[in-house]
C-alpha cells in the first residue's frame, strides 16, 4: 500500500504557473492540501543543480509533482530541438535526483503521449514504448521524457525510490500558452479563430492537411488523475492518461469555429508539418485504477475560450 498525502503533507508543485502545474495546485487546494511548496523559474532555476539541491535540503518536501518542463507545439519542437532536449533533461534530472537524495516520500513525473513510436499500433499501449522510431518533429522532447521515465524506474529498481510516471495525451485548458507560433493546436486555433472573427476575415488557414488525429484531455481532468494516482498508484510501469477517443484536426477546427462563432471558411496550409498521423492512448490501465475523464471536449473548448476572452484577449486590447 503506497504512502498517501494527508492535509499536513508538504507537497511541492514544480512548474506551478504553467498549464499543468496551475491545475494541480487548484486540485490540491480543493482537496484540502494547503501545505504547498510552489516553485517555478521565477523562484528557482531548475536547470541549476546546485540551486535545486539547496532548495530540497532547505524545504524538504514530502511529495513532488514534477510539472515543470519546456513544452510547445509542433513548430516550437521542430525549430528548437536543442532547447527541448537540453532543458527538459536538466530540469527533470535535477528535480528527480534531489527528490531521491533528500528523502521525498513520492514523486510524480509527467511524460507525454509523444514518447511512443510514430507508427505505433492505435490505441497506443504502455508496452509500445521503444518499439519503433519516434516522430521526427518532437523526437528531442520525446527522448528527454523517455530518459525521465527510465531515471524514475532505475531509482526504484536500485534504491526503492517511490516514483511514478504518467503519460498524458494532448492537454488544453485555462492557463495554456496561446502564442500562435509556440503553442499547441487547440489554443492556437482558439486564438486564431478569435482574431479572424474580430478582423472580419473571410478565411482561416489551419496548418497541415487537417487529416492527423489527436486526443484532447482537459487539464483539470489531468490534475484530478494526477492527485488520484499519487494517492493510489505505486508501480514502476508508466500509465497513460487520456480520454480514449480522438478526432481529426479538420474536425477540431470545425468545433473551434463553432465555439468562437467564426463565419468564414477554413483552408489548409500543407506547407506546415502534420506531425504524427495519430497518437490515441489506450487508457485501460488507467480505467482499471478506477479513474475516467469527465470533461467533454465541446464543453472544455467552450470554457477554455471563455477563459481566453477574460484573461488573454482583453489584455491585448
Which amino acids are annotated catalytic? Answer: 141
| Nearest distance, CB of residue 199 and ligand GFB, angstroms | 16
- Structure-block grid coordinates of residue 254: 470545425
Give the CA-trace dihedral at 181, 186, 192, 195, to 10 degrees.
-130
CB atoms near residue 138 (< 10 Å): 24
Beta bridge partners of 65: 13, 108
* 275 binds ligand GFB, rule: CB under 6 A: yes
Nearest to ligand GFB of 185, 259 (CB atom): 185
Q: CA gyration radius for the chain?
A: 19
Gap between the Cα atoms of 271 and 249, Å rounded = 15
Gap between the Cα atoms of 29 and 11, Å rounded = 11
Gap between the Cα atoms of 218 and 303, Å rounded = 10
Nearest to ligand GFB of 61, 208 (CB atom): 208
Nearest to ligand GFB of 156, 278 (CB atom): 278
Sole window of 39-47, 72-80, 101-109, 195-203 interacting with ligand GFB (rule: CB under 6 A)? 72-80
* 266 binds ligand GFB, rule: CB under 6 A: no
Choose which of 94, 118, 184, 213 interacts with ligand GFB (CB under 6 A): 184
* 83 binds ligand GFB, rule: CB under 6 A: no
| Nearest distance, CB of residue 104 and ligand GFB, angstroms | 26
* 15 binds ligand GFB, rule: CB under 6 A: no
Choose among 5, 11, 102, 8: nearest CA to 54: 102
Sole window of 2-10, 52-60, 184-192, 217-225 interacting with ligand GFB (rule: CB under 6 A)? 184-192
- Pairing state between β 213-214 and 163-168: unpaired
Rule CB under 6 A: which residues touch ligand GFB?
Answer: 73-75, 77, 112-114, 137-138, 141, 170, 183-185, 188-189, 192, 206-208, 212, 214, 249, 272-275
Amino acid at each position: 500500500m503506497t504512502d498517501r498525502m494527508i492535509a499536513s503533507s508538504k507537497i511541492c508543485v514544480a512548474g506551478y504557473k504553467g498549464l499543468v502545474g496551475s491545475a494541480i495546485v487548484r486540485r490540491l487546494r480543493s482537496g484540502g492540501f494547503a501545505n504547498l511548496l510552489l516553485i517555478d523559474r521565477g523562484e528557482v532555476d531548475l536547470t541549476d543543480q546546485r540551486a535545486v539541491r539547496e532548495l530540497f535540503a532547505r524545504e524538504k518536501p514530502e511529495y513532488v509533482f514534477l510539472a515543470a518542463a519546456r513544452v510547445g507545439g509542433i513548430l516550437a519542437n521542430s525549430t528548437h530541438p536543442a532547447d527541448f532536449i537540453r532543458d527538459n533533461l536538466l530540469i527533470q534530472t535535477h528535480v528527480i535526483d534531489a527528490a531521491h537524495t533528500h528523502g521525498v516520500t513520492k514523486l510524480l513525473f509527467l511524460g507525454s503521449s509523444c514518447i511512443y513510436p510514430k507508427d505505433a499500433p492505435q490505441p497506443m499501449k504502455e508496452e509500445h514504448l521503444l518499439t519503433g522510431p519516434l516522430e521526427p518533429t518532437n523526437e528531442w522532447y520525446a527522448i528527454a521524457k523517455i530518459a525521465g521515465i527510465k531515471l524514475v524506474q532505475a531509482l526504484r529498481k536500485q534504491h526503492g525510490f517511490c516514483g511514478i510516471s504518467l503519460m498524458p495525451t494532448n492537454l488544453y485548458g485555462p492557463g495554456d500558452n496561446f502564442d500562435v507560433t509556440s503553442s499547441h493546436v487547440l489554443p492556437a486555433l482558439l486564438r486564431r479563430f478569435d482574431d479572424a472573427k474580430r478582423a472580419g476575415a473571410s478565411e482561416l488557414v489551419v496548418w497541415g492537411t487537417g487529416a492527423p488525429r489527436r486526443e484532447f484531455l482537459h487539464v483539470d481532468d489531468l490534475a484530478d488523475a494526477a492527485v488520484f494516482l499519487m494517492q493510489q498508484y505505486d508501480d514502476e510501469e508508466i500509465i497513460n492518461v487520456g480520454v480514449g477517443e480522438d478526432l481529426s484536426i479538420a474536425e477540431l477546427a470545425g468545433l473551434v469555429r463553432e465555439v468562437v462563432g467564426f463565419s468564414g471558411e477554413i483552408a489548409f496550409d500543407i506547407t506546415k508539418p502534420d506531425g504524427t498521423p495519430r497518437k490515441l492512448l489506450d487508457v485501460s490501465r488507467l480505467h482499471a485504477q478506477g479513474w475516467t475523464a469527465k470533461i467533454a471536449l465541446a464543453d472544455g473548448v467552450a470554457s477554455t475560450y471563455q477563459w481566453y476572452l477574460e484573461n488573454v484577449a482583453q489584455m491585448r486590447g
